[in-house]
Amino acid sequence: MLTSLYNRLMLLAASPRAPLWLIVIAAAEAFIFPIPVDVMLIPMLLANRERALQLAGLCTLASVAGGVLGWVLGAFLMQHIGEPIAHFYHAEQKVSALEALFRQYGIWIILAKGLTPLPYKFVTIAAGAAHYSLLPFIAASIVTRGARFYLEAILLKIYGEPIRHFIEKRLTVILLAALCLILAGVALIALL
């Protein structure tokens, strides 16, 4: 089953519509979508290594645009949309804690959280709810999201084929390790 899903993702990643899907997933992941954009970006990078830097740029811009939408939801529609999103993920306390951290540490929260696969959507909504200044939010998001996606792109551009073979050989173990990392990230957020 996992091999079939992986093969479908690789086919989708090589399709002409893949960049559109990347934009949609990257933007949606920044304010509502539960699955990290890396699930789409990594297969695209492996399928099309010569366009790795372009794909990282596209992913960065779409993620930051989605982040701005998350900021707007937190700043102006927290009660009507932001809180229901947080409630859906059982993250009301996390968003409140992040909101308080924004008031205390500001840009450092974006710089710390934007690089990780931890849910960026909570950062974007909390930044808006804290009425953190939009321009520094955008600048920090470009830096952190760009650093993350460009790092992935450069590594996969350079080491793509060996990494692809490694992934294909050990797909189940890699997915279990990724799941453990995501769960550890969620647990870390819960501690904040």
Most confident among 28-42, 88-102, 128-142 (mean pLDDT): 128-142
Within a 13 Å sphere around the CA of 183, how many CA atoms are in the beta-carbon half? 6
pLDDT in tens, 102-160: 778 778 877 777 666 567 888 888 888 888 899 999 999 999 999 989 988 998 888 87
Backbone φ and ψ of 111, nearest 5°: -65, -35
Query: What's residue 141's pLDDT?
Result: 93
Q: What are the φ/ψ torsions at residue 138 (nearest 5 degrees)? A: -65, -45
- Provide the token pair at 32: 């509502």
Kindly list the distances between the CA atom of residue 145 and the CA atoms of 94, 130, 142, 161, in Å, as whole numbers in the listed order: 21, 21, 5, 24
The secondary structure of the chain in percent helix, strand, coil, rounded to multiples of 5, reads 85, 0, 15
Tell me the pTM: 0.76
